[in-house]
A and B are shown apart, each in its own frame.
Chain A
Amino acid sequence: MTQTAAEREEPVGSPPQDLSGEQLRWMYRRMLLIREFENTAQIRFEAGEIAGFLHLSQGQEAVPVGTCAALREGDTITSTHRGHGDVIAKGCDVKRMFAELYGRTTGYCKGKGGSMHIADFSQGIIGANGIVSGGLPIALGAALSCQMRNTDHVTVCFFGDGATAEGGFHEALNLSTLWQVPLIFVCQNNLYGLSQPWEETAFQCDLPERARTYHMPAECVDGMDVITVYGAVARAVNRARRGEGPSFIEAKTYRFLGHYVGDPATYMDQEEREGWRKRDPIPRLGRQLREWGYLTDEEAAQIRAEVEEELQAGIEFAKSSPKPPAADALSDVYVHFDHHGEPR
């Protein structure tokens, strides 16, 4: 891999005490997998192979990966329309994700959900959501469920800055502290709600300050630094598992591309874009790992080759998977009835 400006500019710092080389390499690999998954999806979308909307998150990978590194089996996440990174970080297999994007039977949602609605309930991924802020009250309920079932599981609610002006945001924050549920709000603030700069959406734009008015610990972290994100989320998860209620984390990050594939993002300032690209979280971690002796150039090349192979296999899996019969559109509406209301 070539050295970028970011690798020269960002300080390396010292290795974190609470993360092993194996964990750090997992983070590196997972971020790269997300990045290349989305790059591949973009190419296939532009080639006309994938339908619908594709909301990409290149640049934001450190947030879901740092977050999910602090979770364990049995924990739950909700995600958003820009959710590929969140669900891959939690454990989704890119084969079945590509299959979903291609609308195949082997996709996570058997072709009924697509890019915006990937879910894997077996891994606690209870759905990416096409409605901005729609996942916040649902995450509240999942966390309430963790509490009422007397588990020490936690729920992470991923959402964007765009959700913070919605009523559901306020209601979920308020109820989460009222009930002291094990919930971690992770706001991926990528600075834009579609085309609107985030600072134009509220008079009071200090999100942790807003969260603290509901009496929960809150902090703003560098969302381009996976280790920092991990640290903040791990602290919040520990509090939640101890029964100390919800926390709020704002991870400042950046969407390298437009709102969806096809959006030229003319509303984004060129200098701003270049500045954030220099802070790309993936080469940054790569350089740190090399400096700390956790990754050789050969290993980095090996990881990249593995990721590319995995994605290639994923595309082949998706393309060779059968399309569901069109009439499959009529199933999965109810558990107990067909779509006419006849008992199943």
Chain B
Amino acid sequence: MREITYREALREALREEMERDETVFLMGEDIADPFGSAYKVTLGLSPQFGTERVRQTPISEQGFVGAGVGAAVTGMRPVVEIMYIDFATMAMDQIANQAAKLRYMSGGQAKVPLVIRTQGGPGRSSAAQHAQSLEAWFAHIPGLLVAMPSTPYDAKGLLKTAIRLDDPVVFIEQKLLYNTEGPVPEEEYTLPFGEADVKREGSDCTVVATSMTVLKALKAADILEREGISVEVVDPRTLFPLDIETITASVCKTSRVVVTHEAVERCGFGAEIVAQIAQTAFGYIDAPIQRVCAPSVPPPFAQHMEAFTMIDEHKIADRVRRLVTGEL
């Protein structure tokens, strides 16, 4: 199978859905050519579809996310891009009070087929306002769906589904994943929301990881394999709906679990996963449930400090090793 980047996979999803359905259109800051968006996902789309449908906006997150809500409830399928997830703060009313609530408040009348694409995560010395991982905020709000793909294959399949769903989706990419490559079929496919993917099978410990930490967990599994420890890596892919069945099935098999994400530990989405595991698989767990998450501080600027706070394969491997050998 051919290999393409995460960025190319996302661009293909946008292109295919725009070709398939003329009500799909894009809005966001700097998304038209020649700039083609901050992380170049939309590069090349405005020449093909025109600047009406690849609609560049001023720096006006509340305005254009709200415009997305209004367009979505009146027959269009907007895909808006918030350049950094940190900037979603500027549009939180439209996301949390409007997009998420219109269907419920109207007693089921409204459909809000809106996709909010954004990206988060550390790793480029972007400091405290350009590197946060805020997925838990959105997963906390009833009415929103949240996707967090880790591979090009998942990114394309989930984005195509997100665009076709009639519910609002917060689609969270990761800035260091854009250049990663992976197999993506030439043929059409979509992936369902609410279906976790076992990225690697193993028997000694389950690692539940999201987005970038899936890649780190797979590297940790390679390290531990050489030590005779078998790790299973489960990627929920969507935080809501959350496929807790696949996660708990894995935990029941391995009897140990480490949950990891790039977001800070306190009230991170891992807390929800841990709680659900404890509720549904308590009797199968042989060791304390572990979290490997960022310390609860804002992302620092200096590279060595940022690296200190980030999740890498060694942090995950170390925790799994201690868990499996009974140190914890």
A139 interface contact, C-beta 8 A: yes
Contacts of A149 in B (CB 8 A): 23, 75-76
A339 interface contact, C-beta 8 A: yes
Contacts of A335 in B (CB 8 A): 103, 111, 165-167
The interface stretch among B63-71, B121-129, B197-205 is B63-71
With beta carbons under 8 angstroms apart, the residue of B67, B97, B167 that contacts A141 is B67
Q: Is the CB of A168 within 8 A of B63?
A: yes
A-contact bits for B46-59, CB 8 A (1 contact / 0 none): 00000010000110
Contacts of A342 in B (CB 8 A): 194, 241
User: Which residue of chain B lies nearest to A109 when distances are taken between CB atoms in the complex?
Assistant: B107
Q: Which of B72, B76, B104, B145 has the most CB of A within 10 A?
A: B104
Q: Is the CB of A339 within 8 A of B98?
A: no
Given A134-B98, A138-B98, A148–B52 Cβ distance below 8 Å?
Answer: yes
A131 interface contact, C-beta 8 A: yes
Q: Which of B57, B58, B97, B105 has the most CB of A within 10 A?
A: B105
Given A137-B63, A140-B67, A175-B57, A332–B108 Cβ distance below 8 Å?
Answer: yes
Q: Is the CB of A109 within 8 A of B69?
A: no
Contacts of B66 in A (CB 8 A): 134, 136-138, 140-141, 168, 171-172
A-contact bits for B177-194, CB 8 A (1 contact / 0 none): 000000000000000011
The interface stretch among A32-40, A110-118, A216-224 is A110-118
* Range, interface on chain B: 35 or more
User: Which residue of chain A lies nearest to B166 when distances are taken between CB atoms in the complex?
Assistant: A335
B-contact bits for A69-83, CB 8 A (1 contact / 0 none): 000000010100000
CA distance A109 to B105 in the complex (A): 6
Given A107-B107, A168-B62, A141–B194 Cβ distance below 8 Å?
Answer: no
Q: Is the CB of B104 within 8 A of A333?
A: yes
A242 interface contact, C-beta 8 A: no
Q: Is the CB of B73 within 8 A of A126?
A: yes
Q: Is the CB of B63 within 8 A of A175?
A: yes
A325 interface contact, C-beta 8 A: no
B296 interface contact, C-beta 8 A: no
Q: Is the CB of B58 within 8 A of A178?
A: yes
| Minimum C-beta distance from A146 to chain B (A) | 7
Contacts of B93 in A (CB 8 A): 131, 134, 168
**Chain B residues numbered 59-104 whose CB sits less than 8 Å from any CB in chain A:** 60, 62-76, 78, 93-94, 97-98, 102-104
Q: Is the CB of B242 within 8 A of A341?
A: yes
Q: Is the CB of A137 within 8 A of B62?
A: yes
A127 interface contact, C-beta 8 A: yes
Q: Is the CB of A141 within 8 A of B72?
A: yes
| Minimum C-beta distance from B201 to chain A (A) | 25
Q: Is the CB of B107 within 8 A of A110?
A: yes
CA distance A107 to B109 in the complex (A): 12
Q: Is the CB of B167 within 8 A of A334?
A: yes
Q: Is the CB of A134 within 8 A of B94?
A: yes
| Minimum C-beta distance from A125 to chain B (A) | 9
Given A107-B107, A134-B94, A333–B71 Cβ distance below 8 Å?
Answer: no
CA distance A97 to B172 in the complex (A): 39
Given A137-B67, A140-B70, A342-B241, A148–B105 Cβ distance below 8 Å?
Answer: no
| Minimum C-beta distance from A341 to chain B (A) | 3
B149 interface contact, C-beta 8 A: no
CA distance A110 to B103 in the complex (A): 12
User: Which residue of chain A lies nearest to B66 when distances are taken between CB atoms in the complex?
Assistant: A137
A312 interface contact, C-beta 8 A: no
CA distance A168 to B70 in the complex (A): 14
Given A175-B63, A175-B64, A335-B166, A109–B71 Cβ distance below 8 Å?
Answer: no
Given A141-B69, A175-B64, A334-B143, A126–B74 Cβ distance below 8 Å?
Answer: yes
B-contact bits for A159-190, CB 8 A (1 contact / 0 none): 00000000110011011001000000000000
CA distance A29 to B240 in the complex (A): 49
B176 interface contact, C-beta 8 A: no
CA distance A171 to B25 in the complex (A): 20
Q: Is the CB of B74 within 8 A of A76?
A: yes
| Minimum C-beta distance from B87 to chain A (A) | 13
Contacts of B68 in A (CB 8 A): 141
Q: Is the CB of A172 within 8 A of B63?
A: yes
CA distance A215 to B186 in the complex (A): 48
Q: Is the CB of B70 within 8 A of A145?
A: yes
Contacts of A333 in B (CB 8 A): 103-104, 142-143
B-contact bits for A262-291, CB 8 A (1 contact / 0 none): 000000000000000000000000000000
CA distance A246 to B164 in the complex (A): 31
Given A126-B70, A175-B57, A337-B194, A117–B76 Cβ distance below 8 Å?
Answer: no
Q: Is the CB of B94 within 8 A of A137?
A: yes
Q: Is the CB of A119 within 8 A of B110?
A: yes
Q: Is the CB of A111 within 8 A of B97?
A: no
Given A175-B63, A334-B143, A334-B145, A145–B71 Cβ distance below 8 Å?
Answer: yes
Contacts of A139 in B (CB 8 A): 70
| Minimum C-beta distance from B35 to chain A (A) | 18
15 A-B pairs with CB atoms under 8 Å apart are: A109-B109, A110-B108, A119-B109, A127-B105, A134-B94, A137-B66, A140-B70, A141-B70, A141-B73, A148-B52, A174-B63, A336-B166, A336-B167, A341-B241, A341-B242
3 closest A-B pairs by beta carbon, nearest first, are A137-B66, A141-B70, A341-B241
A-side residues, CB < 8 A to B, are: 76, 78, 107-113, 117, 119-122, 126-127, 129-131, 134, 136-146, 148-149, 155, 167-168, 171-172, 174-175, 178, 331-337, 339-343
